[in-house]
Amino acid sequence: MLSVNAFPDFRSAAAAVLDYLHRRLGFDLWMVTRVEGQEWIILQVEDHGYGVKSGMVLKWADSFCIRMIEGQGPCVSPRVQEVPVYAAAPIGKVVKVGAYIGIPLMKEDGSLFGTLCAIHPAPQPDQIVMEQPMIELFTRLLASILSEELKTVPGAREAERAAAGAHRDDVTGLYDRDAWELLVRAEERRCSDYGNPGSVVILTLTERPTASVESLNAEAERAAGALTAATREKDVVARVGDRQFAVLAVECDRAGTKALVVRLTDALGSAQLHAAISVSHRVPPRTLWHSWREAEGEAETNARDHA
């Protein structure tokens, strides 16, 4: 009896679709992408000559796909040089493109998630246009898988945080450094799978050499309350050192992180506390782990400067 297993997740389904489309239609590069602001993030790749890898970030404004999404050019173009907006697209000045395919990958609410797209260096026969309904079907199926998978994210985060709750700071009740590391790794998996933005903020309370242990603990408790009140429910707040706290800004872009830092600073000020603040944004292919280490390194430098 033939056994056909279901795909375990969106990532594996997307990889299988790209592999099939390459074998069926050719084209040297097939991609599943995510659009996040001005960034065009490559999630899955079937590459046979362009040197594109998963995790790369390109400029959305430079792509053929933005022109396709805006209705300026067709979804399937056997000869891109015959389509003025594609012929003029900046990405075509960087790599050789003779033919293009692009289909919108939509979220359940009708907003744009990204695209399923392909390029090839040489023009293709006109018959390739007849394949558009099949490619659209695959894209809609991937969108359905993505939609259902995204619905599980809040529950997955809740389970991860419940498990991490075994690692708590004795003074503040916040997650400790061990829990922080677990949660950063877990969130990075989602950033990698879906192209989510994210940032790490490190806050180091201003040193007071003459403070007693009791007063230091009281400051830590006040800081914990202030930081928790200033963050969103989905964010992670942890005490990662005696005077150091970390905030994981989940699915938060640069503008959102900037607003978060303002809230954190105001909250600490209201609690009569001051801190040196370091921020690092996740910029693919660098991970949230890299962002944490970068922010932590900057925090150590700031601490020495304030000593």
Structure tokens at 78: 């056997």
In the chain the domains, ranked by start, together with CATH numbers, are 10-151 (3.30.450.40), 153-306 (3.30.70.270)
pLDDT, one tens digit per residue, over 59-88 is: 999 999 999 999 999 999 999 999 999 999
Q: Say how far apart CA 222 and CA 4 lie, in whole Å.
A: 56
pLDDT, one tens digit per residue, over 171-210 is: 999 999 999 999 999 999 999 999 999 999 999 998 766 5
C-alpha distances out from residue 107 to 14, 110, 134, Å: 15, 5, 19
Confidence (pLDDT) at 240: 96
pLDDT, one tens digit per residue, over 111-133 is: 999 999 999 999 999 999 999 99
Asked if 67 and 86 count as a contact pair (C-beta separation under 8 A), the reply is yes
Confidence (pLDDT) at 3: 63
Q: Report the percent of the chain where pLDDT is more than 90.
A: 89
Structure tokens at 135: 């490619």
User: Does residue 31 register a pLDDT over 70?
Assistant: yes
Confidence (pLDDT) at 213: 81
Task: State the pLDDT confidence band at 307, using cuts at 50, 70 and 90.
Answer: low
Residue 119: HSE in the Cβ half-sphere, 13 Å Cα cutoff = 19
